[in-house]
Chain A
Amino acid sequence: MTDIAPSAADAAALDTPPPRRSPGLALLRRSLRHGGLLVGGGILFIIVAMALAAPLIAPHDPYAQDLSRRMIPPVWQVKGNWDYILGTDKLGRDYLSRLLYGARISLLIGTVTVLISGTIGTLMGVCAGYFGGKVDAVLSYIVTTRLALPVVLVALASAALVGSSLHGVIIVLGLLLWDRFAVVTRSATQQVAGGDYIAAAKAIGCSTPRLILSEILPNILNPLIVVATLEMAHAILLEAALSFLGLGVQPPLPSWGLMIAEGKQYMFFSPWVIAIPAVALVFLVLAINLLGDGLRDVTAPENRN
């Protein structure tokens, strides 16, 4: 017997729980409101899709030479034609097809390099941050030494020693580019390691490897993904530079850096030969960087300025 009878609307309001913001949903909402992340993610998605579908959508064989069809300009120029939308190179190979297959090389190198360097760097960073003391001093020293080495020069020399090839470039870059992973995971681990849940896990007798794998790693995953994204762009740029200098991916593979190097002698009269792969490279790197910056903003909104 109550004086104030609850209305049907109030009852309904009481029945529905207050809107619960799950962390995943909040993250999704922040992502959808972040312009840079959407643009970067969108461009990257298109490039990845085109790279994966290259055998289906490429109009020609990227390796098929036809010397009677050399240096056809792209379709928007006077002598261009729709058979070769982006024209042909000095050996008469279809530029669009080479560009599509070239995206596969860049993405492959970016991904595998980051897997190798990320594993090395994360392992070093987590150990340095978790154990501290002498381990930290030794690992920081190794990172300092690596930073002192001129990276392009050492990459070129090592690529020449292991043999310039797709595999050679991936191994060399993977073994060289772990420095930022180590620096970032080290400070992230230091922040996490003081947490109560780490102390709790230690108290119930968690082994160190298990503690690192199941308590620390999941909690430093966000900064790690951001570094991985930005380092992927770094690896792609370095591969292009190595291939441009002739010590990276070797012909006839359609690496974008190599396409620019091969087009260099024609750039005075046909600037599009270098402009097309250069623009593709800029778009890919821009997309990955925008995605990485965006991910940093949405996963760590408190660090935004």
Chain B
Amino acid sequence: MLAFTLRRLVVALSVALTVSLIAFVLLHLSGDLATSIAGPEASPAQVAQVRQEYGLDRPLTVQYLDWLWRAVHLDFGNSFYFRTTVASIIAERMPVTMTLGAISLMISLVIAVPLGIIAAVFKGTLIDRLALTFCVLGQAIPTFCLGLGLIIVFAVNLRWLPVSGTAGWMNYILPSVALGWYAVPAVMRLSRNGMLEVLSADYIRTARAKGLSPAVVVLKHALRNAIIPVVALAAVQFGFMLGGSIVVEAVFSMHGVGHLAWEAIARNDFPVVQAVVLILAAIYITLTFVADVINALLDPRMRVA
């Protein structure tokens, strides 16, 4: 188990390192940094001075290592647009995205896991077919279309919920449904397949033969084992949701990091873009690492890979 964890940790760290290299390249591809920092009105002499002050005249490898050292300490430099540190802007916006992601994950799990279990228990019946059809339909609806549709129905026509913003908890309902919807088909398919596999196992037959009620067999005996793969997928989906929240935040004008990154790209404010890419990737890498370890703890068969 320790060897497995260490191996996974090495992979996770080297992936993080590669991602940091990509983020660094992204920043340097966005144009001459000295000109961007000095501003559009700066004279060539001022640009040269900035270049020297910020160490932009050093070899790229030295710059990368220096930048990486700072990034590990959560120092991502200054934004070209806001004139404050990137870290402080992101710290301000992060809670919105995190809340949105967490509620979305909860919504998708609450819809998808029971649906998957019911579909598996009633395999091959009309209920199963309806659940699978729901999945195929769900996959075809783009997040931003669903978001706009929810606004038209629940915010404009019914006036139950606010159109946009982040003022209160009511503001999070529609965006979370739109974002969580995206993960429902995958989670549902996985819980259905996991359940089907478990339900055909010998110990379930034994439990049934003992005369336990079907509900106890499914919810107590089968669910525990069927849910293991869902844990890993839920972690991965949470990572995807943080990355995908950019679309939902744009639709609902929520000022999270997705919205921040979107605006930053339009303003060519690449220090911010780079930091958001790096942070989201780091969260994803951490989540998948933790999910792998938890999976291996729950199911020793996973420890080989």
Interface residues on A, range: 35 or more
Interface string of A256-276 (1 = CB under 8 A from B): 010010001001100100110
Query: How many angstroms from the CA of A113 to the CA of B281 in the assembled complex?
Result: 24
Query: How many angstroms from the CA of A268 to the CA of B149 in the assembled complex?
Result: 11
A156 in contact (CB, < 8 A): yes
Question: Number of B residues whose C-beta is below 8 Å from A?
Answer: 47
A241 and B285 contacting across the interface, CB-CB below 8 Å: no
Give the nearest-CB partner of A279 in chain B.
Answer: B145
A149 and B137 contacting across the interface, CB-CB below 8 Å: no
Q: Which among A148, A283, A289, A293 is the interface contact of B284 at CB below 8 angstroms?
A: A148
A245 and B247 contacting across the interface, CB-CB below 8 Å: yes
Contact residues in B for A274 (Cβ distance below 8 Å) = 145, 148
B193 in contact (CB, < 8 A): yes
Give the nearest-CB partner of B155 in chain A.
Answer: A268
> Considering the complex, which residues of chain B in the window 256-305 have a beta carbon less than 8 Å from any beta carbon of chain A?
258, 261-262, 265-266, 268, 270, 273, 276-277, 280-281, 284-285, 288
Interface string of B5-48 (1 = CB under 8 A from A): 00000010011101100100010011000000000000000000
Given contacts A144-B15, A152-B247, contact A268 B136 (CB under 8 A): no
Chain B, interface SS category: helix
A112 in contact (CB, < 8 A): no
B176 in contact (CB, < 8 A): no
> Considering the complex, which residues of chain A in the window 176-228 have a beta carbon less than 8 Å from any beta carbon of chain B?
none
Query: How many angstroms from the CA of A271 to the CA of B244 in the assembled complex?
Result: 25
Contact residues in A for B145 (Cβ distance below 8 Å) = 260, 274, 278, 281-282
B142 and A290 contacting across the interface, CB-CB below 8 Å: no
Query: How many angstroms from the CA of A293 to the CA of B133 in the assembled complex?
Result: 12
B243 in contact (CB, < 8 A): yes
B140 in contact (CB, < 8 A): yes
Give the nearest-CB partner of A234 in chain B.
Answer: B139
A148 and B285 contacting across the interface, CB-CB below 8 Å: yes
A149 and B143 contacting across the interface, CB-CB below 8 Å: no
Give the nearest-CB partner of A271 in chain B.
Answer: B152
Query: How many angstroms from the CA of A215 to the CA of B145 in the assembled complex?
Result: 44
A260 and B148 contacting across the interface, CB-CB below 8 Å: yes
A289 and B277 contacting across the interface, CB-CB below 8 Å: no
Q: How far is the CB of A89 from chain B (nearest CB, A)?
A: 16
B243 and A264 contacting across the interface, CB-CB below 8 Å: no
Q: How far is the CB of B210 from chain A (nearest CB, A)?
A: 27
Given contacts A141-B15, A286-B140, contact A157 B273 (CB under 8 A): yes
A145 and B19 contacting across the interface, CB-CB below 8 Å: yes
A241 and B284 contacting across the interface, CB-CB below 8 Å: no
Q: How far is the CB of B250 from chain A (nearest CB, A)?
A: 6
B148 and A267 contacting across the interface, CB-CB below 8 Å: yes
A240 in contact (CB, < 8 A): yes
Contact residues in B for A161 (Cβ distance below 8 Å) = 26, 29-30
B219 in contact (CB, < 8 A): no
B212 in contact (CB, < 8 A): no
Given contacts A247-B265, A285-B140, contact A144 B30 (CB under 8 A): no
A144 and B11 contacting across the interface, CB-CB below 8 Å: yes
A18 in contact (CB, < 8 A): no
A244 in contact (CB, < 8 A): yes
Query: How many angstroms from the CA of A271 to the CA of B273 in the assembled complex?
Result: 33
B156 in contact (CB, < 8 A): yes
B196 in contact (CB, < 8 A): yes
Given contacts A241-B143, A286-B140, contact A149 B19 (CB under 8 A): yes
Q: Which among B26, B137, B242, B270 is the interface contact of A150 at CB below 8 angstroms?
A: B242
B19 and A148 contacting across the interface, CB-CB below 8 Å: yes
Contact residues in A for B250 (Cβ distance below 8 Å) = 244-245
Query: How many angstroms from the CA of A156 to the CA of B277 in the assembled complex?
Result: 11
Give the nearest-CB partner of B22 in chain A.
Answer: A149
Query: How many angstroms from the CA of A147 to the CA of B270 in the assembled complex?
Result: 21
A282 and B246 contacting across the interface, CB-CB below 8 Å: no
B144 in contact (CB, < 8 A): yes
Give the nearest-CB partner of B163 in chain A.
Answer: A268
A247 and B142 contacting across the interface, CB-CB below 8 Å: no
Measured CB to CB, the residues of B under 8 A from A are 11, 14-16, 18-19, 22, 26, 29-30, 136-137, 139-145, 148-149, 151-152, 156, 193, 196, 242-244, 246-247, 250, 258, 261-262, 265-266, 268, 270, 273, 276-277, 280-281, 284-285, 288
Measured CB to CB, the residues of A under 8 A from B are 36, 141, 144-145, 147-154, 156-158, 160-161, 233, 237, 240-241, 244-247, 257, 260, 264, 267-268, 271, 274-275, 278, 281-283, 285-286, 289-290, 293, 305
17 A-B contacts (beta carbon < 8 Å) = A145-B22, A147-B284, A148-B285, A148-B288, A150-B243, A150-B246, A152-B244, A153-B243, A154-B26, A241-B143, A267-B152, A271-B152, A274-B148, A281-B142, A289-B136, A289-B139, A305-B193
Which 8 A/B pairs are nearest by Cβ-Cβ distance?
A: A150-B243, A286-B140, A278-B145, A285-B140, A150-B280, A148-B281, A145-B18, A160-B265
Q: A237-B142, A264-B148 are in contact. List 9 more A-B contacts (CB 8 A).
A: A147-B284, A148-B285, A150-B284, A151-B243, A156-B246, A156-B262, A267-B152, A268-B152, A281-B145
